[in-house]
Chains A and B, each alone.
Chain A
Amino acid sequence: MSHIELPPPVAPDWHRWRSGLFGGWGNSLITLAALGAFAWLFHPLLRWAVIDAVWTGTAKDCAVDGAGACWAFIGAKLRFILFAFFPPDLQWRPALVVATVLALLVLSALPRFWSFRLVPLWIAALVLSWLLMAGTLTPPQVSTNNWGGLPITLVVSIAGLAFAFPIALLLALARQSNMGVVRTLAITFIETLRGVPMIAVLYVAMLIVPLALPSGAAIDKLLRAQIGVTLFFSAYLAEVIRAGLQVVPWGQREAALSLGLGYIQTIRLIVLPQALRAVIPAIVNLSIGIVLNTSLLAVIGIYDLLNAAKTSATDPTWLGFHTEAYVFAAAVYFVICFTGSRYSIWLEKRLNAATRH
């Protein structure tokens, strides 16, 4: 007789809700108190954001007494918040870049498409994005000083992760090395960058790097910031990868050596596939951290999404709608990062299921 597998019975939703909200008098009391507190807290918020909000019109309509949030402002300044000072008639370029990057992200997120062919694809996409934005091949050219908004946030984050990865891999291996000098250099680099706030690294990129270059040489401001972000996150990524390397038992390396594999072969064929698989969710979480932290570029005067939102509220015709601008920017960040963190949880479950079988 065949074995019948039935899933364990699950209580119906309303049952779970009832016991979660009103199971026992203490719980009911908490529920009622919480409802009261939410009503007190959210009522003014709801009035501001929805009921009293102004959805269309001009700044004059928003200046009426008792008006709530001015969402008309977001409608009017949407293109500025998304693309900052990029010439308006050329804004199809950053829009195309954002669309391409998002499409590639979706593609890379599906384990079905995981292969090393993605690496050249990404590199090509990043290089082409840069060329398209700068207009090197398709004039008119646009200086990086005019770049801004969402494409900056996305491209700096992704390029940061892409370039940090090889550096971090070398650092993580160096930290495990049996060569004392190599190990010490790696530890010094990692601990120094992890010990200082990111803003200090960005200051170095902005203020010190121009001084440290030989006279006459200069690196673009955005590129310097990109280098700073990359180095900063390579230290964090190195620690993530190191955690993965520690998952692989040392005996496997010894076994590989005894089979006659060299160091590079051992690492490439035996250690890395297992180590990286173990830390993919952690890498996704770190990437979310990178996206969030690129907002610090605002402090050094680069027009990323946050800075564009901040600046949009200084337009003389739409003066002072800071709160609306920040709420909108927050929503954009939230959509990106929340999707990422859900994805990381889904991936973790899937990978765990795959190794268990």
Chain B
Amino acid sequence: MKSAGLIGMSALLLTASLAGCGASSSSAPPTKNIKDITIGTLYAKSGAFATSSMPEYSGLKFWASQVNKTGGTYVKALHKKVPVKIVAYNDQSSATTATSLYSQLITVNHVNILVADFGSVLTSVAVPVAQEKKMLLFDQTGTGASFFTPSNPYVVLTSLPTSGLWPTSLAQYLIHKGYSRIAIVYATNDFDQSQDQTLVRKLKAAHITPVYNNGVPTSTSSYSVLLNNMAHTKPQAVIELGYPNNDIAFMQALKASGDHFNMVFTIFPGQLPQLFTKTLGASSINNTYTYPAPPLLSFSHVNYGLNTTQFESAYKKATGQSTNFLSIAGYNTGLIIQKTLSTANSLNQLSLRHAVSRFSGSLSTLDGSFKINSEGAQIGETLPVAKISTNSKGQLSIKFVTSPNS
């Protein structure tokens, strides 16, 4: 009898569990009571993504401070300007921690707008949570192609095309130069391996088979042996696809080896030039190739927000920090949110999503043309290839080798 009672009680509690789970869905405050627009986001103050996440978060905060100086952002649904408030948590570069924090922002903080942390890993966990809670996710730089599906209307990529599209211009350049001996080393993660696949596919279509194409763990910090193996294949072009830490380790190994190749390409010097010149010295990236991103890539036609020169000056004054691509990406996210709020007829999340589609293609910011496809993926921005040059004072300049508008 006691056992039966215990089982009965257990069943009752389990039923309560089911009921409790169902009852915990998010409930945003009524629109008329909104005193400020809360923007929930995460940042990584430590760990593998800190160097990229912090400038991006800083750019978003800068946008919020700029908007609040003018009395807030115009919210069409409220017919007035409303101050912006950022609610942010530190996920310490952990996807596990990020999962509970995204959930915290939606279910406990009831933020009006949800913004993802930097990159695909920390964005990936936000995608299903946002979709399940019916919350539009402003994805800043999570370029994983799998995030964007026809069945999910709750995600919008604000900067950069999906990573599989990145090497288009690089492949064009390699083919145009007639390089037949190409060596590629890539970090085995979603971001880099998808680029490798695209690059190899495009090269093979032009009847070029890379002489070396190997993946290494993303945690790789020594490329000396790999570089030696690559050098033995006598490549004309050496392509290294990795995260900033991989690129830095690769460049260090290249410098130490004394090897020389006609072309050396890495991804992040174009996004984080200060990090590379500070860590490796300007001469280490001289004459190498990269994808230049704003502010190295400057757009003359800006019809929304500050242009590159204005941003660099105002950002430096406000934060004391130099501008890099990720701070621009964070600011750009703010601009997209601002435009969304001024376009949407209500603060309903699907209404926000429809608003983004309405102004897609008509917005030009310092980050380039903002245009998304029906699945929310960015298709307006392009990534050309450029050659980096540094002078004796360590100043850096770039020369486009493919068209910035291609």
Asked whether A and B interact, the reply is no
